Structure 1
Amino acid sequence: MREQAAFEARTLVRQSNVCVISTISKNLAGYPFGSVSPFMSDNQGRLVFYIAGIAQHSRNLSEDSKMCATVFNAAEQGDQNAHARVTVVGDASPVPAEEHEALLARYERQYPEAVSYRQAHDFQLWRMEVKRVRYIGGFGHIFWIEKDEWQQAEPEWDLDAEAHMVKHMNDDHSDANRLILKLIHNISAEQVEMTTIVSDGCYLRANEKNYYIQFENVCLDSMSVRKELVRLTKAAREQLAEYTE
């Protein structure tokens, strides 16, 4: 049950593009300060934010690294408390200089509007190391998830290898991107680009929105990723054939 809860919590975070982040206020000492921010998650389940130097959160984190991020399924109707939510608690620090450019390129693939931020307000990538996770999947489905339960095995590829895989899919298999998006999210779009690959899934972008594609199996090497994408493409083509018969 705990393993399933961790899976559900990770999936909700993967599927989300925006969260509520809370830091310890420097201006109002001792009080939490919340705001809304885009984010992405890495293979270890750490959260990455791109924050302006003039932002309150940058100032707060420079004084106190403690923060949390909350993501949730917004209820279109009915009781919001019946819907899943995750609060990730941890400590944030600036991404080291030697990792910054490759990680920023990844962030900009997922959020292309952030390219313009390079010229404004001294934006900086911050990465939160996860300490503990609170997951509520609905009434009575409540868990604290420990760090070792949250993290997954690190795949063999690095950020440069991920960028190469993404480029290969966009250059040579753009049709597969469109088919997979239609299969999983029932979205038809002329322009569909892969932006990110993580061990348990990938992201496709269409119509200025990111869509998470869950893999059937966790992938720890590039061949496993290839097999998952081939499986998804084949399933999409079979579904399309059924519709056109």
Structure 2
Amino acid sequence: VNFGDFSWFRMNIDKIRFVGGFARAGSVSPSEYKAARPDPISEFGIHIAQHMNEDHESATIAMIANQIPGLDVSKAEITSVDSLGMYVKVNRTPRASDQPQQFKLRLPFPREAKDR
């Protein structure tokens, strides 16, 4: 590349620390980082989420009820999908309150998805 303000750099990785937000952090070894591969589902995740949200919200609510008995959800919107599961934004009104709550939860798949 022949730009005056452009340079190539090489990094020698000694250690890696992942900070993914509130209560989501961890360490990765250089060999784990080098061996990492893109998630095979992530390319299609947004399309899967859009389809499920538009046509199958009741199925998403049923999956939540199956995995988290007693959690009464009135609305569920899939926000992301990967090979190990999905994140879902849910709305619910607790029985002891009239104040609705909204939060995100993770629904793991029973086994890793290899393709769409």
Same fold, TM-score > 0.5, yes or no? yes
Against the structure 1 CA distance between its residues 71 and 173, is the aligned structure 2 distance closer, same or farther, given a 3 Å change threshold?
Answer: same
CA shift, 1:173, in A, is 1.2
Instruction: Tell me, yes or no, if structure 1 residue 195 matches structure 2 residue 75.
Output: no
* Matched position secondary structure for 1:192: strand
* Matched position secondary structure for 2:49: helix
Against the structure 1 CA distance between its residues 214 and 157, is the aligned structure 2 distance closer, same or farther, given a 3 Å change threshold?
Answer: closer
Q: Which structure features the higher share of helix residues?
A: 1
Contact 1:154/1:220 (8 A) holds in 2: no
Superposed, 1:75-224 pairs within 5 Å as 87-88=25-26, 133=27, 145-149=28-32, 153-159=37-43, 161-186=44-69, 187-207=71-91, 208-222=102-116
Q: Distance in 2 between matches of 1:167 and 1:174?
A: 10
CA shift, 1:153, in A, is 4.0
Q: Distance in 2 between matches of 1:153 and 1:217?
A: 18
- C-alpha distance after superposition, 1:195-221 (max 9, x if no partner): 110111111111221110111222231
* Matched position secondary structure for 1:194: strand
Q: Distance in 2 between matches of 1:157 and 1:198?
A: 5
Structure 1 unaligned regions, length at least 5: 1-65, 73-85, 89-132, 134-144, 223-245
Q: Distance in 2 between matches of 1:221 and 1:148?
A: 25
Q: Pairwise CA RMSD of aligned residues?
A: 2.9
Against the structure 1 CA distance between its residues 153 and 71, is the aligned structure 2 distance closer, same or farther, given a 3 Å change threshold?
Answer: same
CA shift, 1:67, in A, is 6.6
Q: Distance in 2 between matches of 1:152 and 1:218?
A: 16
Q: Distance in 2 between matches of 1:148 and 1:165?
A: 32
User: Who is 1:107 aligned against?
Assistant: none
Contact 1:202/1:214 (8 A) holds in 2: yes
- C-alpha distance after superposition, 1:124-152 (max 9, x if no partner): xxxxxxxxx1xxxxxxxxxxx52444765
Contact 1:153/1:220 (8 A) holds in 2: no
Q: Distance in 1 between matches of 2:85 and 2:31?
A: 20
- C-alpha distance after superposition, 1:71-100 (max 9, x if no partner): 65xxxxxxxxxxxxx743xxxxxxxxxxxx
Rg comparison, structure with higher value: 2
Q: Distance in 1 between matches of 2:38 and 2:17?
A: 24
Against the structure 1 CA distance between its residues 184 and 149, is the aligned structure 2 distance closer, same or farther, given a 3 Å change threshold?
Answer: farther
Q: Distance in 1 between matches of 2:55 and 2:110?
A: 23
Structure 2 unaligned regions, length at least 5: 1-15, 92-101
